[in-house]
Chain A
Amino acid sequence: MFKLWQNIKKYYRLFELIILVFFLFLILFISSLQIILRNFFQAVEWFDLLLKYSVLWVGMFAASIATYEHKHIRIDLISRFTKGRFKSAIVAIADLFASIICGILLYSFVIYIIKIEYPSTDPAPFLGIKKWVMLLVLPFNFFIMSFRFLVRFFTNVYNFRNNKEEVDTDDFIDLIKNNEGEDK
């Protein structure tokens, strides 16, 4: 069971990284190509739209990675100057809050896409791909982020109960496993 969890985590992170690398190269390639086309031939109009949506995809997957890497921008006036158990408790509250908000955003996006974007008859921005398909990246990553914040929340609750300070692992299952290893 633990092994399966580890594998899912590993391969999903790899998948995220592949998406990131792919879209970043795509942005670099298309924008460079567009310069050449614009100056010497004719610019392709939908390239600009492709660029915009690629940034959305890069941005959302990157935001999702920032969640497990603990790299989101915060105003952490209090948690920076607290220690030990208390810190775990505070961070747990913040993570639970973040998880709930991402959940609400996920919910609002699902409704929004089903009610407004999916039935929309606007022409597809490029290559026949409808706008709602491009927007799916938002609810998908809010789901992942909500889940990751929830896992962080449990990790910190675990730390709090065991009198430990928040440590930089994003996964309480890792932590339990590690502690078991230490105990033995």
Chain B
Amino acid sequence: MIALLLLLLVVLIAIIGAPLFCVIAAMALINFIKSGIGILVVPQELAGIVNIPLIYSIPLFAFAGYLLAHSKASIRLVRLTKAAIGWIPGGLPIVTLITCALFTAFTGASGITIVALGGFLLPALLSENYKEKFSLGLVTSSGSIGLLFPPSLPLILFGVIAGASIDKLFVAGIIPGIVIILTFSVFSIIVSVKQKIPTTKFDFKELTLALNDAKFELPLPILLFLGIYSGKMAISDAAAFTCLYIFIVEMLVLKDIKFKELPKIMKESMVLVGAILIILACSLAATNFLIDQQVPQKLFDSIKDIITNKWTFLIVLNIFLLIVGCLMDIFSALVIIVPLILPIAEAYNVNLIHLGIIFLTNLEIGYLTPPVGMNLFVASIRFGKSIVDIYKGVVVFIGLSLISLVIITYFPLLSTWFIEKPAIVSQWEYTYEDGNVDRIIVKNNGVYLRKKGSLMDIMMDDPYIGKYEIKNDKITLYTEEGKEEYNFELYNDGKKLMFETLSFKKEQRHKIFYNNLINPPLHIKEANLIGKWQQNDDFIEFYFNGHVNLSLNNEDQKDYRYRILDKKKLEFKDDETNTKLICDYKFELNKLKITINKKSYLFDRGESGSDL
């Protein structure tokens, strides 16, 4: 009771404006003292911040962004986009959107876009006779529009907190980011056509001049794009590279920034980083406690009867996050809310990467919503307008953002199109409460192997071998007695397999989750290879454990380790001699064509041995 009162007091102090890190630390302290663990855990958890992977990419990207913001890159960027697309109807608003988006991606949406770009974009819009309300709203809402594009800081922070692959997040954000820009652009075009704003002519000379002007900065996004998406550049490398590149270009080549200004810029950028990192550190202590206390589990238990499927969950999540976005800024919202929502989203089988994009889109809207929307305050100060004027301007854009949010949330493919689907072909295990185990191996050729019983039985007994059939999301396992039918779904990117017993009555249905024994889980492409392939006396057999056994041209069997390089190429590695062999592969109907040393072999699927 006392603890509860204390917690309430802490929340009250948070609302009156105490620094958030103190509020979070206070919660952690109260909880640890209450539960008798003692406060020594708090410093231990706080110091754990150094072990967060990729933590040093945060100061690097932030510093790079601030350097860019203080240089004249913004002017060159606007000039270039204006020359390239300024001539279409609604040209200048679209220029505003694109430049702000790119700028925000690099500067991490800390209100700096409005300060750096708004100053000359707003007068430019007004001089082209766009109405003040529209122009103010556009510039203000553009200040956070690039959050979904790499290498935005909130995107990295989500990856760090959720343990999601940052490379994947970088790819996932692109199309949803474009969706938002498109929605805004369409609206801008309509406004411009309605108001009969004259268009400018396309000027090729100006374009070449603008290109020449931006010739040093332009290669950076291209190099980053190629580096990251080809997999040659890790995120940590990308951070150091971006920072070094911008440092050299702006400081040494273009000399936009004087060395005298450098300490000030460093301080400015690091103050933001410090404010984020200290909240992150304190939240490590607080969220670990919440997770130890099974708060997410309890939350899930209390909502699972009301929210029965993924889609309703996503509606509720969106409403919840919009409220969060109204009350908190993006960094604290990520740090506090993500760890709580993560287990629940997993339980509803929301893809982690998609979840990240949904989070950021919601919080992006939070920049514009009263009472604490940061863009509103920055714009109000920057343009010398009252908050109310800014509110009126952004209302339409909040509406447009909501439309994009719905699209991004309910078309997961926009963010997950490149993520390979996991395969049911794998080894699955379910452990009963009494310690008995049910182990199923699902193979490619419609055959499954199954063992049930204690661990001892599983070691000793032969498996039951049966046939299975898959139709849409239904699987039928044929057994000695007849057949078992289930609805199935792969969860958490293939880490879990859900079987739901079929029954007409909803109450009688129940779900079992099998764990994948193969880690990392196989994707469909890899899983397709698994099994034995035969042609006359030649054979090749791919195992779950990454080994491949082959015998060609009546030679002795050879054991390799295999790795899929891309859609066409496989690598065989001989562990003994440490040599590598690259070969082509292709599926043709039910056949597998493999080309080794320019010689092709065409295999049929054969009977494979046990994998248990």
Contacts and interface: CB of A to CB of B under 8 A. Distances in A.
Interface of A: 17, 20-21, 24, 27-28, 31-32, 34-35, 51-56, 58-67, 69, 71-81, 90-91, 93-95, 97-98, 101-102, 104-105, 108-109, 111-113, 115-116, 135, 138
A113 B47 CA distance: 11
15 contacts: A24-B266, A28-B63, A31-B60, A53-B50, A56-B50, A59-B49, A59-B274, A65-B274, A72-B21, A73-B279, A78-B17, A95-B18, A104-B25, A105-B25, A112-B40
> What are the 3 tightest A-B residue pairs by CB atom distance, in nearest-first order?
A62-B274, A76-B17, A59-B277
Contacts of A93: 13, 16
Contacts of B22: 97-98, 101-102
B44 A77 contact: no
Contacts, number: 189
Contacts of A69: 271
A28 B270 CA distance: 13
Nearest to A91: B17
A28 B18 CA distance: 33
A63 B44 contact: no
A90 B47 CA distance: 31
B278 A77 contact: no
Contact of B372 (A27, A75, A94, A116): A75
A63 B327 contact: no
Interface stretch (B75-83, B233-241, B290-298): B233-241
Contact of A72 (B25, B273, B275, B327): B275
Given A27-B60, A55-B50, 10 more contacts: A20-B263, A28-B60, A32-B240, A53-B50, A58-B273, A59-B274, A61-B274, A73-B329, A101-B25, A108-B43
A105 B23 CA distance: 12
B276 A73 contact: yes
B26 interface: yes
Interface of A is mostly: helix
A101 to B, nearest CB: 4
Contact of B278 (A51, A60, A79): A60
B216 interface: no
Contacts of B20: 72-75
A55 B56 contact: yes
Contacts of B18: 74, 94-95, 97-98
Nearest to B245: A32
A27 B274 contact: no
A39 to B, nearest CB: 9
A55 B59 contact: yes
Interface string B308-335: 0000000000000000000111011000
A104 B39 contact: yes
Nearest to A74: B17
B45 to A, nearest CB: 10
B228 to A, nearest CB: 14
A138 B282 CA distance: 12
Nearest to B52: A52
Contacts of B211: none
Contacts of A74: 14, 17-20
Interface string B31-70: 0000000011011101101110001101110010000000
Contacts of B273: 58-59, 62
B15 A78 contact: yes
A94 B17 contact: yes
Given A24-B63, A104-B29, A73 B275 contact: yes
Nearest to A49: B50
A27 B19 contact: no
B243 interface: yes
Contacts of B237: 35
Contacts of B581: none
A40 to B, nearest CB: 13
B543 interface: no
B263 A21 contact: yes
Nearest to A105: B25
Contacts of A34: 240
B244 interface: yes
B371 A80 contact: yes
Identify the interface centre among A56, A97, A104: most chain B CB within 10 Å of its CB.
A97
B267 interface: yes
A62 B271 contact: yes
A66 B277 contact: no
A71 B271 contact: yes
B13 A73 contact: no
B413 interface: no
Which one of A52, A62, A69 has the greatest number of beta carbons of chain B within 10 Å? A62
Given A81-B371, A94-B16, A112 B44 contact: yes
